[in-house]
Amino acid sequence: MSSESPPGAEEEFEPYVRRKRSEAGGRKKMQGLNEQEQNLLRNSINSRERRRMHELNDEFETLRECLPYPNEANSRRMSKANTLLLASNWIKQLANANHKLQMELNMANAKIDSLMVQLKKVEKPSSKCSKCQQNVCFSVDCITST
């Protein structure tokens, strides 16, 4: 649902659930009501459906804004089917790019591990000179022994 709600829409969000239609279920409800009650019930049903459709359209618009699609003023709005198709393709493309980057990351980490092993082999053992600090020493004993 969008972050902005129209005034008076402070009621809790009720997700739309499609219900099975009974053959005469709606007619039976309406038969026991007088004309004014029928109109009130019909208006209530229409209002809920209109609100549901507005919410659905708002969410499609939010989805369109996330897609790599020109949002120019003169371009036509995509249909819902095209929006879903483009979103599906965009998600697949992002998943493929993510997979490729993950493979590159794994290869880079393996290369780092390999270089670290080589570096440890090349490193000189720490000096045994008592005058050395942090493997840096300028004493004559250390300089002449290397």
Sequence-separated contacts (24+) of 11-16 with Cβ below 8 Å: 16/52
State the DSSP code for 145.
Answer: H
Average pLDDT of the residues in 79-95: 94
| Cα 11 versus chain centre, distance | 27
Task: Supply the mean pLDDT for the chain.
Answer: 79
Average pLDDT of the residues in 100-119: 95
Average pLDDT of the residues in 119-140: 68
User: Residue 30: is its pLDDT beyond 90?
Assistant: no
What is the distance between the alpha carbons of residues 135 and 110, in angstroms, rounded to a whole number? 28
Please, which residues bridge with residue 59 across strands?
none
Contact present, 63 and 87 (Cβ < 8 Å) = yes
From residue 35, alpha-carbon distances to 40, 49, 113 in Å are 9, 21, 80
Q: Tell me which of 4 and 15 has the higher pLDDT.
A: 15
What is the distance between the alpha carbons of residues 139 and 64, in angstroms, rounded to a whole number? 71
What are the boundaries of each domain within the chain? 1-66
